[in-house]
Amino acid sequence: MIERIVSKLVESNVFVVSNGNNCFIVDAGVELDKVKAIVGNKKVEALFLTHGHYDHCFYVQDYAEEFGCKVYCREYAKEYLQNPKYNYSDDKLQISDFSNFCFLNGNGEVCLPHFNVKYFVLGGHSKSDMGYVFGEDVFVGDVLIGRDMGRIDLYGGDKSAMKASLEYLRNLDYKTMFSGHGEENSKPVQDKVANLWIKFLSR
């Protein structure tokens, strides 16, 4: 079961993915009390960050402390989390203690007690972009947002990297895509969106 919680921070998404009495969380832009209400008595086995912008990471330390879980993200996310200029938090988010973090590189899999979560490198929206697959579901942060492409004009944004990410996602085997903002979409819908933006980026 996947439950979406919408943040006050630019209406970013947080997802709680449950299997029985266990769950993991994707992104950390929603106030802790709202997440706790969804998690309930479940054991949080991990927190995954899709990228290092403040609206997806603002409460990351609160989650890690409350739930006693590790935080998984791309290694480049550290650069964003420790620098308010890069995470766009207006000097409100600056992390110096990364003892709860597990930094990921390349493509691979995180094997938790009750979940196996595959991860893969993305890019284009930021240098810290990373996607995650669990079962038939994929979480891509702000690389694609509904029927829109994520912004490429922020720090670390890159046109060619975005094109490569869209091509990768178009060839990825999944059923439903969950992005950093807005509601989920099926693969056929997202493939059409990706094709449109790939043509745009090819000009």
Distance CA 4, CA 99 (A): 27
The b/e string for 123-150 (b: 16+ C-beta within 10 A; e otherwise) is: bbbbbbbbbbbbeebbbbbbbbbeeebb
CA atoms within 13 A on the CB side of 54: 18
Whole-model pTM above 0.85?
yes
Distance CA 163, CA 172 (A): 14
What are the pLDDT digits (tens) for 101-149? 999 999 999 999 999 999 999 999 999 999 999 999 999 999 999 889 9
CATH superfamily membership of 2-201? Ribonuclease Z/Hydroxyacylglutathione hydrolase-like (3.60.15.10)
Beta strands in the chain (DSSP E): 2-6, 13-19, 22-26, 43-48, 71-74, 101-104, 108-111, 116-121, 130-134, 137-141, 144-145, 148-149, 176-179, 185-186
What are the pLDDT digits (tens) for 29-75? 999 999 999 999 999 999 999 999 999 999 999 999 999 999 999 99
Question: Domain-by-domain residue ranges, the chain?
Answer: 2-201
Please give the order of strands across the beta sheet that includes 2-6.
Answer: 2-6, 13-19, 22-26, 43-48, 71-74, 101-104
